[in-house]
A and B are shown apart, each in its own frame.
Chain A
Amino acid sequence: EVQLVETGGGLIQPGGSLRVSCAASGFTVSSHYMGWVRQAPGQGLEWVSVIYAGGHTSYPDSVKGRFTISRDNAKNTLYLQMNSLRAEDTAVYYCATNYESSGYYSFDYWGQGTLVTVSS
């Protein structure tokens, strides 16, 4: 059974750094398209980053240069390193993957999300 479990969220001051993790089971992280999507309180979904099976990564301008997506194949875990955090980064961060559907550009399995709050 495919499962994604995010951890690492919490309260962080503006300008600080935080790393959230996504432990995967039931499939191999390195073989699938994976990404992070966030949702600010009461707002819509926003794409944050993706990593392709081949290792290529991509980010929107809103987080480019501040956030880094990576994976640990031995731990079968996806990470999102967030630096220079701003109040507008406050959101629930979801980890997601494309496991059964076509190879890219959609996510058919999601974690439960982890809340990141940026505030002084």
Chain B
Amino acid sequence: QSALTQPRSVSGSPGQSVTISCTGTSSDVGDYDYVSWYQQHPGKAPKLMIYDVTKRPSGVPDRFSGSKSGNTGSLTISGLQAEDEADYYCCSYVGYYSLVFGGGTTLTVL
């Protein structure tokens, strides 16, 4: 199972919106509504931001939203804040009890 494809980096200014894409295939992202997104600050453990494509865990600001179209999942962060600067990873269920992560995207807040 190959890793999901994410852009290496994205950037935005405070207050703006950014979208990070996560492209898979019809056998993973396109076949299951089990895309999740994780935020990771340097030296820290990952934090779940979105699960099941669109759901937000308790405590995650509603500035974070998820969606999916075809074989591509997306994470949108609106009203960018300095503390949003981090690495973001998508993850998808791929069947046969297995998961696959994306390569990760570094978000820079300008």
Residue positions of A touching B, CB distance < 8 A? 35, 37, 44-47, 50, 52, 56-58, 60-61, 94, 96, 100-102, 104-108, 110-113
Contact = CB atoms under 8 A, between A and B. Distances in A.
Contact of B51 (A35, A94, A96, A106): A106
Secondary structure of the B contact surface, majority rule: strand
Interface string B27-39: 0000010101010
Contacts of A52: 97
B45 A111 contact: yes
B52 interface: yes
A107 B107 CA distance: 21
Interface string B65-98: 0000000000000000000000101010100111
A113 B40 CA distance: 13
B98 to A, nearest CB: 5
Contact of B99 (A47, A108, A110, A112): A47
Interface residues of B, number: 29
Nearest to A107: B48
B21 to A, nearest CB: 15
A52 B93 CA distance: 14
Given A44-B89, A47-B91, A101-B55, A106 B103 contact: no
Contacts of A102: 51-52, 55
Contact of B100 (A47, A106, A107): A47
- The 4 closest A-B CB pairs, nearest first, are A58-B97, A106-B51, A106-B36, A44-B104
B51 A101 contact: yes
A70 B52 CA distance: 26
Contact of B48 (A35, A47, A56, A101): A101
B1 A106 contact: no
